[in-house]
Amino acid sequence: HLQMITELESNLPSRNVYLLFSLLKKDNNEHILQKACELGVSNFVPLLSERTIKKDFNIERARKIVVEASEQCGRSNIPHVRDPVHLDKALAEYHGKLQLLLCQAGGQQSTDFTDKVGLIVGPEGGWSERELEIFKSLDLPHLALSPFVLRAETAAIVAASKVL
């Protein structure tokens, strides 16, 4: 026999946001996972780009971080964290399925967001010329983050806050 004591309200993000971020050095990946989860990111897609320095990623630790961050901020769901994927493969997989936005300093500002948004945040040192050409060929709109160049982990958090 069960008795309902309290009915909890569902607390879910307003849109389905995928954060495609280049893996970073040190604890910066954990910082991105924690803060972007608190902001409402639904899916984390760690990227391997030409300028990615750190190639290893502890997926179990990452999933533990998003569970703890979800509990701490009162989310009703837990974001998905996938294994790292090469940039080319991620673009092939998500282009046409999400509104992909290239997040960077300056540039044109995209302000009309769909319900499924993919935020692409570059590595320390920026994108390579080849990667920039790929973005140009896909005609990806930009999400202007700041007039200043931001650290990669700051860029990921600012991007998430702009669309959520």
The region, left, alpha or beta by phi > 0 then psi within -120 to 50, assigned to residue 38 is: alpha
- What residues are paired with 132 via a beta bridge? none
What is the token pair recorded at 77? 């769901």
Q: Tell me, what DSSP letter sits at residue 84?
A: P
Assess contact for 42 and 13: CB atoms under 8 A: yes
Q: How far apart are CA 59 and CA 56, in angstroms?
A: 9
Phi, psi of 162 (to 5 degrees): -75, -25
pLDDT, greater one: 50 or 4: 50
Q: How far apart are CA 138 and CA 48, in angstroms?
A: 19
Whole-structure pTM value: 0.92
Whether the per-residue pLDDT at 104 is higher than 90: the answer is no
**pLDDT (tens digit per residue) in 127-143:** 999 999 999 999 999 99
pLDDT, greater one: 125 or 157: 157
Assess contact for 44 and 82: CB atoms under 8 A: yes
